[in-house]
Amino acid sequence: MSAVLISLGANLPGAWGDPIRTLRQAIAELQTRHVAVEHASALYETEPLGGRRQSHYLNAVVLAKVNVAPAALLRTLKQLERRAGRRLGTHWGPRPLDLDIVDFGGRRYGWPAGVRHRGRLVLPHPEAHRRAFVLIPLLDVAPDWRHPVLGVSAAALLARLRSQRRGVRRVLDSGWILCDEAGS
């Protein structure tokens, strides 16, 4: 079994409902696909990237165990995104679900992460170390995590992102995945 960190984000309603329902459903779907979620971060509201007018995102990170290859996990995540209503759109555009493998057991694949090709696996995620909306929830579930390529802790990487941190606001504790709709 390999330990994996998966980031989740949503800012549009989709086939599974509003963003919080979609994130809850994504976690439930992962667990039916041999992804044993051990810990979920708090839920964070974050400002979108790219300067386009769009709704704020809800973001989280889960720590899970898997017994599949990285490419198989990536295929599963992309299938779930499509089932939730995601279609190819603009870079950094709004979406009903975004699932990314942040780290897969410390493996390195495709680095240095130069030119990216849609659908091609790069491990660890090539942008995770530059995104407060990934690092803040990641610290909830893996406070001792170090970037497998850079060798830098998540806390040190986050310290470099002072201006981005202001755009990430905790909205629910780690029990958000279990809350009933009246409590959300």
- CA-nearest of 97, 82, 125, 131 to 24 is 97
- Amino acid occupying residue 23: L
Do the beta carbons of residue 45 and residue 181 sit within 8 Å?
A: no
Please determine, for residue 171, whether its predicted confidence score (pLDDT) is greater than 80.
yes
- CA-nearest of 23, 44, 31 to 141 is 44
- Amino acid occupying residue 10: A
From the number of C-beta atoms within 10 Å of its C-beta (0-12, 13-18, 19+), residue 22 rates as buried
Which pLDDT value is given to residue 183?
Answer: 41
Q: Which CATH superfamily is domain 2-111+121-183 in?
A: 7,8-Dihydro-6-hydroxymethylpterin-pyrophosphokinase HPPK (3.30.70.560)
CA distance 78 to 156: 30
| Domain edges within the chain | 2-111+121-183
Q: Average pLDDT of the chain?
A: 88
Neighbouring CB atoms inside 10 A of 184's CB total: 13
Does the global pTM surpass 0.75? Answer: yes
List pLDDT tens digits, range 66-86.
999 999 999 999 999 999 987
Beta strand 168-172 with 98-104 is unpaired
